[in-house]
Amino acid sequence: MFRMKGVNPPMITPFLENGDVDYDGLKTLVSFLRERVDGLFITGSYGSGALMSVEERKKVTEITVKAAADKIPVTVMAGTTNNRQTMELVQQAEAAGADAVAAVGPYYFTHNDDSVCYFFEDMVKAAKEIPVYVYNNPKFQGYPMSLELLKRLKGLGVRGIKDATFDIIAHATYQRVLKDENFDVVLGTEAMWLSARALGAEAFIPGLANAFPEICGQMYREGMEGNFDACRQTQFKVNRLREIMYLAKSTQLAIYAMLEIRGVLKSYPRAPFISASEGEKKRIFEELSALGVLDDSKIN
C-alpha cells in the first residue's frame, strides 16, 4: 500500500497578477521541488484548491503529475463542498497518475458524522486503485472529527489521515489507535515534527518546504536517524522561520514572498488574498538573512 514518506510540502498554486493560474510557473515550482522533497500534496489549503474551478484543479493536477516525472509521488486534495464534484476530481486525479487523494470533511455547512461518512465512502468508491486520506483540519472544514468518526472512516476504506489539528495529544492517539499496516498517519505541519517523530511519524506536510525544502529535509533526516539533539535545534530554527512567515499576515502568503526572495518564482496569490507588500517582503528578507537560511539554501 502507498504510504507517505518524508517531506511532502502542500504546494502552493502560482497565479498571475490578473488572477489566472500561472501554469508555466507551476512547472517551474514542481521542477524546483522534485529534486528536494519526497512528495507533493497539491490543491489543498496552501494550493488554493477551494479558490479554483474544478477544471483549473484538474489541469493543475495533470501538469503537476507530468512535471513530477515519476521522481516523487503526488497526493491530490480532491475535496469540495459536495460528493459529486469530489468524486469527479478523485477519478480525474487517478486517471492523471496521482498516487493518492485526500479531502477535508465537506465544508461550509456543519455536517453530522453520517454525512461525513457518506462523503468519504463515495470518495473510496471513486478511487479504484489509489488510497484516500482524510485531511482532518477542524479550522478549515468548520467542525472537529472525533476519534470514533475516524474509526468509522477507516472501516469504510479510508487509508490514512493528514493530521492538521496541531494537537500533539490527538496525534499521539492517532498513532496509537489508528495506525497499522493498512492506515497511514501523517503530520500536517512542520511545527511539531520532532514530537511527532518520537511518536512514530514517518512523514509530514510542511508549508515551509515550498520555499525552504532543505531545512525541512534536514529536520526529517535527523528525526529518522534518532538524532534528537540535532533535530531539536533544527526544529527551533524551523519554528523561528514560521514566526517570520507571519510577517506576511499568513503562512500561505509568506511562501509567495519567500519563493520570490529566493529567486525561484515570482507569482501571486489569488484574490481575495493580497500579496505581501514590499515593506513586508523587505522585513522577511532581513529576518531570513539574519537567520542565515539564505546562505544555507543557495539554489544550484
Would you call 93 helix, strand, or coil by DSSP?
Answer: helix
Tell me the CA distances in angstroms from 260 to 18, 44, 54, 210, one per residue in order: 18, 21, 28, 11
Q: Distance between CA 66 and CA 214 in Å, rounded?
A: 23
Tens of pLDDT along 67-122?
A: 999 999 999 999 999 999 999 999 999 999 999 999 999 999 999 999 999 999 99
Q: Residue 248: is its pLDDT beyond 60?
A: yes
Contact 74, 60 (CB under 8 A): no
Query: In which band, very low, low, confident or very high, does the pLDDT at 1 lie, cut at 50, 70 and 90?
Result: confident
Residue given cell 514517518 in the structure block:
202
Helix axes 228-245 and 213-224, enclosed angle (nearest 10): 150
Tell me what pLDDT residue 295 has: 77
- Other C-beta atoms closer than 10 Å to the C-beta of 148 total 9
pLDDT digits (tens, 9 = 90+) for 257-270: 999 999 999 999 99
SS3 of residue 255 by DSSP: helix
Q: Which residues pair with 103 in a beta bridge?
A: 134
Phi then psi for 66, rounded to 5 degrees? Answer: -65, -45
pLDDT digits (tens, 9 = 90+) for 40-68: 999 999 999 999 999 999 999 999 999 99
Q: Are 196 and 174 in contact (CB under 8 A)?
A: no
Q: Which parts of 201-291 fold into alpha helices (H)? A: 213-224, 228-245, 251-262, 278-291
Q: How confident is the model at residue 21 (pLDDT cuts 50, 70, 90)?
A: very high
Taken in order of first residue, the domains within the chain and their CATH numbers are: 6-225 (3.20.20.70)
Q: Residue holding cell 499568513?
A: 250
Task: Order the strands of the 184-187 sheet from edge to edge.
Answer: 6-7, 203-204, 184-187, 160-163, 132-136, 100-103, 74-77, 40-42
Average pLDDT over residues 26-51: 98
Contact call for residues 182 and 1 (beta carbons, < 8 A): yes
